[in-house]
């Protein structure tokens, strides 16, 4: 159910049509049904193991997350309070922040060649920052909605809520190619936050407890992780929202996940053989 009131510290943002806290549409049920059906067909599934827990700011409506040089970078959403942040992993303390204009809803985030790229939801505008200083360097435009963003080291990889991901040229921001995401031939929509790890695309499925792994070349879903129970019932409040946020520490082989307005960021390991 939708929270009856907002936290006192949260200025009243413009109400999102679909992406705000507790937003629900039939797509959520369809996504869950499709994934459940896929698992019932005997396709590979995975579980998870929690290795460590770190504090996470409960005012952060996490839309984009990445790890680089010992710190987290986070893009937060909601109109009027969206930010780009540099965050200390161990304490969850915000080391530096850049506020977006009040009419921009922050979304996916990627780091490539010393630059941070941040999407916005409905505006069709993205921002480019210097990764060291968070100074704004440039902006760019795109069609449709902005959801998740990551990189394979050459292209920016973008989701927009549909069953298609786009590969963008990081210099011109033109779409180089698109890939249709298919689960045993069926379109998989609501692909949200993205992380590219070892040649595989990890993605949150919006409004669900699922993380999927995708072949970014063919677009086939490789397997699923059911993250149900990651955040315990006692840690939840009327404002706690959905699972969203995947980051990878390549140097130490650590996978981090969190959620919108969650109090905790988790270091997890995916384990095989679990049943969703």
In angstroms, what CA-CA distances link 33 with 79, 116, 188, 226?
A: 31, 35, 11, 13
* Residue among 89, 91, 96, 158 at smallest CA distance from 132: 96
For residue 173, give every residue at least 6 positions away whose Cβ sits within 8 Å of its Cβ, in sequence order, or none: 126, 140, 141, 142, 156
Is residue 45's pLDDT more than 90?
A: no
Domains of the chain: 44-272 (2.120.10.30)
Measured distance CA(42)–CA(184) in Å, rounded? 12
Q: Could you report the per-residue pLDDT of 93-152, keeping only the tens digit for each?
A: 999 999 999 999 999 999 999 999 999 999 999 999 999 999 999 999 999 999 999 999
In angstroms, what CA-CA distances link 120 with 17, 18, 63?
A: 14, 14, 10
- In this prediction, residue 37 carries a pLDDT of 47
Confidence of residue 46 (pLDDT cuts 50, 70, 90): low
Is residue 13's pLDDT more than 70?
A: no
Q: Could you report the per-residue pLDDT of 169-228, keeping only the tens digit for each?
A: 999 999 999 999 999 999 999 999 999 999 999 999 999 999 999 999 999 999 998 999
- In this prediction, residue 272 carries a pLDDT of 58
Confidence of residue 271 (pLDDT cuts 50, 70, 90): confident
Are the CB atoms for 127 and 118 separated by under 8 Å?
yes
Of 32-46, 148-162, 218-232, 244-258, where does mean pLDDT reach its minimum?
Answer: 32-46
Query: E strand or H helix at 95, and its extent?
Result: strand 94-99
Q: What is the mean pLDDT of residues 1-20?
A: 35
For residue 256, give every residue at least 6 positions away whose Cβ sits within 8 Å of its Cβ, in sequence order, or none: 54, 65, 67, 72, 245, 246, 247, 248, 249, 265, 266, 267, 268
Residues forming beta bridges with residue 259, ordered by sequence position: 243
In angstroms, what CA-CA distances link 44 with 51, 202, 275?
A: 23, 15, 9
Q: Which comes out higher in pLDDT, residue 266 or 37?
A: 266
- In this prediction, residue 47 carries a pLDDT of 87
- In this prediction, residue 227 carries a pLDDT of 93
Tokens 């490539």 map to which residue?
A: 112
Measured distance CA(259)–CA(15) in Å, rounded? 20
């Amino acid at each position: 159910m939708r929270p009856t009131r907002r936290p006192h510290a949260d200025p009243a943002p413009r109400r999102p049509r679909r992406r705000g806290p507790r937003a629900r549409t039939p797509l959520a049920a369809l996504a869950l049904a499709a994934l459940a059906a896929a698992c019932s067909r005997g396709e590979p599934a995975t579980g998870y193991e929690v290795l460590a827990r770190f504090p996470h700011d409960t005012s952060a409506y996490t839309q984009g997350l990445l790890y680089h040089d010992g710190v987290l970078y986070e893009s937060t959403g909601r109109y009027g309070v969206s930010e780009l942040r540099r965050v200390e992993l161990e304490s969850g303390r915000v080391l530096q922040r850049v506020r977006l204009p009040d009419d921009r809803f922050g979304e996916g985030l990627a780091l490539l060649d010393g630059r941070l790229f941040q999407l916005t939801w409905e505006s069709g505008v993205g921002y480019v920052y210097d990764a060291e200083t968070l100074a704004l360097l440039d902006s760019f435009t795109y069609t449709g909605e902005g959801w998740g963003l990551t990189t394979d080291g050459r292209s920016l990889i973008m989701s927009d809520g549909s069953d298609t991901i786009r590969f963008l040229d990081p210099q011109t921001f033109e779409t180089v190619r698109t890939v249709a995401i298919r689960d045993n031939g069926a379109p998989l929509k609501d692909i949200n936050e993205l992380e590219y790890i070892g040649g595989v695309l990890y993605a949150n499925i919006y409004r669900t407890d699922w993380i999927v792994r995708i072949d970014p070349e063919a677009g086939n879903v490789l397997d699923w992780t059911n993250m149900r129970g990651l955040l315990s019932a006692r840690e939840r409040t009327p404002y706690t929202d959905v699972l969203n946020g995947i980051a990878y520490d390549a140097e130490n082989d650590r996978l981090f996940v969190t959620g919108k307005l969650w109090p905790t960021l988790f270091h997890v390991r995916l384990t095989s053989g679990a049943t969703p």
